Chain A
Amino acid sequence: MGIEVVVEGLTMSFGKQNIWQDVSLTLPAGEVSVMLGPSGTGKTVFLKSLIGLLKPQRGRVLINGVDMVGGRERDIYETRKLFGLMFQDGALFGSMTLFDNIAFPLREHTRKRESEIRRVVMERIELVGLLGAEGKLPGEISGGMRKRAGLARALVLDPQIVLCDEPDSGLDPVRTAYLSQLLIDLNARIDATMLIVTHNLDIAATVPDNMGMFFRRELVTFGPREVLLTSDEPVVTQFLAGRREGPIGMSEEKDAATLAAEADSAPARPADAPRVIVPQLEPSPGLPPRAAVIRRRERVLGMLDTLPPAARAAIEDTYARHATAPTVPMPSAGGGA
């Protein structure tokens, strides 16, 4: 089972520039979470802080009792072995073939025999659909393949916590859909805690159990997906609808004057289509059910009273229709679910 990640009062700034402040959240063990946010709001910085690559000025990130921000360097290195991080462009070693890249963590941290390493690596290569490309150098393959190879390398040590930095960027919609399914299947298979940073709305709508959003140097919200999907916070509605009108501007955010001017000309804007909560993806047939689903149900039903009414209604609706399914089963889904 995955490990819970507790973030307490994290504040990060580069010089005078404040990235975000006082971020507190808990990634529940074994569940899939998505962090949304416009470009440049420090999502990647947040990921790198979780794993201790960047050191925020204040706050703590607790994993198994180890503080990834202020803890001892040796403990941090040990704890990192629990992580798999998929970098935005793969971050593969340019001088090694894909096979050696993916085998790297195994060769560094285990005493496995070469035949054993070969078996594990080829299994991961098959999982991400790169069979036949294992002898190529990272410079010889496309960006999408590099990303998938990066994912394979992140998975090779059976991590308890998987972090994905924009898994969709540079991928076409079909590959993004496959990747979403891959992430859910992965969660069903290894029951790891997962955090996906993205601004892709399809992934956001179909993959996570929990969602959060960064904006204006703080965490706008974090909680069960229904909370964000039913939220009427202007930032959230603007982002989910992908329209220009709202607090998010071209360069990070708009000032009050621009917002007021926009409000004057507001009648021109057509109303957003009513948002429907798309059902969450199910693991592919043949895989075990996700263990996190049952835990999440307990957890979410337990905190129901603290949630806003719209979110509560959505959750009750979901669980009323189907006792254990993560969300509404798709009407047209035949025997799949």
Chain B
Amino acid sequence: MIGGALRQTGRLFALAAEVSRAVFRRPFQFREFVEQFWFVASVTILPAALVSIPFGAVIALQVGSLTQQLGAQSFTGGASVLAVIQQASPLIVALLISGAAGSAICADLGSRKIREELDAMEVMGVSPVQRLVVPRVLATMAVAVLLNGMVSVVGTLGGYFFNIVLQGGTPGAYLSSFSALAQLPDLYISELKALIFGFIAGIVAAYRGLNPRGGPKGVGDAVNQAVVITFMLLFFVNMVLTGLYLQIVPPKGG
């Protein structure tokens, strides 16, 4: 049981290493990359925007209510924007990238595998990792980074709207507390997280898709597992990255 889990983990890392190497191997599959990028973007943009508005709102409302009780209303803006940019936004991106894009990638590769298409490709001297997996992983990474920017903006706007309109906050205080508490590295770590989450989601989806067990039902199981494994990995990695960031980068307010 443990041996099996370790072996799977090892093979997952081996695939990650192979993909990283194959990124630099010519010829780069530009067309496949554009197609996948477009596909991933089209299935994630709308849900991401729709999720980020209420998410920004609840954070703004919650933080607003807390700061009000503490008598620190002037910091509502800074606190909620930090929560949105550093935590909410990368996690929303992670959920959508793995749930919408990762599952589709896993199902696509899995069904190709059981139809022997991938074997046929290898027989013709074309590496499926270089031809199919690399463009997909790069597409999920690129979309994750861009999507993260969009979710941050939409989430922050949502928070602003709810705080000002519903809680009667002052626009000037809300905006000026941004620069009191938030700093540029907050944005960098947010984008870095999104990049890493995109990579992990792409790799896990590809790994499960390349190794389905036993026929069409195996592909269904693989998709399910890919999404669950990605979620767990992403939340764990998020915790590690947040911990590192808080240790390494000095907080602005301090």
Contact = CB atoms under 8 A, between A and B. Distances in A.
Interface residues of A, number: 22
B127 interface: yes
Contacts, number: 47
A85 B111 CA distance: 20
A53 B123 CA distance: 7
B7 interface: no
A48 B123 CA distance: 9
Contacts of A77: 125, 127
B115 A94 contact: yes
A91 B117 CA distance: 5
Query: Range of interface residues on chain B?
Result: 10 to 19
A92 B125 CA distance: 15
B120 to A, nearest CB: 4
B123 A85 contact: yes
A94 B117 contact: yes
A80 interface: yes
B119 interface: yes
A153 B125 CA distance: 13
Nearest to B127: A77
A89 interface: yes
A80 B120 contact: no
Contacts of A109: 124-125
B127 A87 contact: no
Residue among B112, B123, B126 having the largest count of chain A Cβ atoms under 10 Å: B123
Interface string B123-165: 1111100000000000000000000000000000000000000
Contacts of A105: 124-125
A121 interface: no
Nearest to B123: A85
A44 to B, nearest CB: 10
Contacts of A255: none
Contacts of A153: 120, 124
Given A77-B125, A108-B125, 7 more contacts: A80-B125, A91-B116, A94-B115, A94-B117, A105-B124, A105-B125, A108-B126
Interface of B: 111-112, 115-117, 119-120, 122-127
22 contacts: A53-B119, A77-B125, A77-B127, A78-B125, A80-B125, A81-B125, A85-B120, A85-B123, A87-B120, A91-B116, A91-B117, A91-B119, A91-B120, A92-B117, A93-B117, A94-B111, A94-B112, A108-B125, A109-B124, A109-B125, A153-B124, A157-B124
